[in-house]
Amino acid sequence: METIRAIIWREVKVNRDETPQEALDATGRVRDTNSEVMKTMPRGEGKKARVGFFQLDLSKRDGYISDDDLAKEYELRGLKPDPYAQMAVNKADPAFADIRPNGCHWRGPDGKWHYIAFNRWGDGERYVGVNRSGGGWGDGWWFAGEQVASISPLDSDLLVF
């Protein structure tokens, strides 16, 4: 098991009454989305969320982590994926994903992993992608999750801003 690295915390208001499409539109990003996957996006609960973003050292995993192993990393940190809260952070701070490309995933009703990812294309244009996954995640991603359990300060170097 690796040492838990820093978690960046953001507190946001979340409009869970919006459709996934409305929430994505509010981010102002170019969309690359699968409409069927969009329908499976969990809305989460609550009008406010404390969202943690964590990055993994994948050097001992050949620069890759599967979605199944990523789910264990969320649990280890007391986080659960919350696409609506993640969208709210990226809406409130559009530049956040410019320096911290971020994503989260959820298991769809088809049993497959689905994801949302905020990043920039090579030409600098900001985009958000929503689709099915199968390939896992490579180096460089920050993973977003809503806090569901407290984490001991002894276990994590917490950053709050």
Mean pLDDT, rounded, of the chain: 91
- In this structure, are residues 66 and 136 in contact, taking their beta carbons and an 8 Å threshold? yes
Per the CB < 8 A criterion, the answer to whether 88 and 15 are in contact is yes
Residue 151: per-residue pLDDT: 55
Burial of 76 (0-12, 13-18, 19+ CB in 10 A): middle
Task: Indicate the domain borders of the chain.
Answer: 7-160
The tens digit of pLDDT for each residue in 74-107 reads: 999 999 999 999 999 999 999 999 999 999 999 9
Q: What is the pTM of this model?
A: 0.89
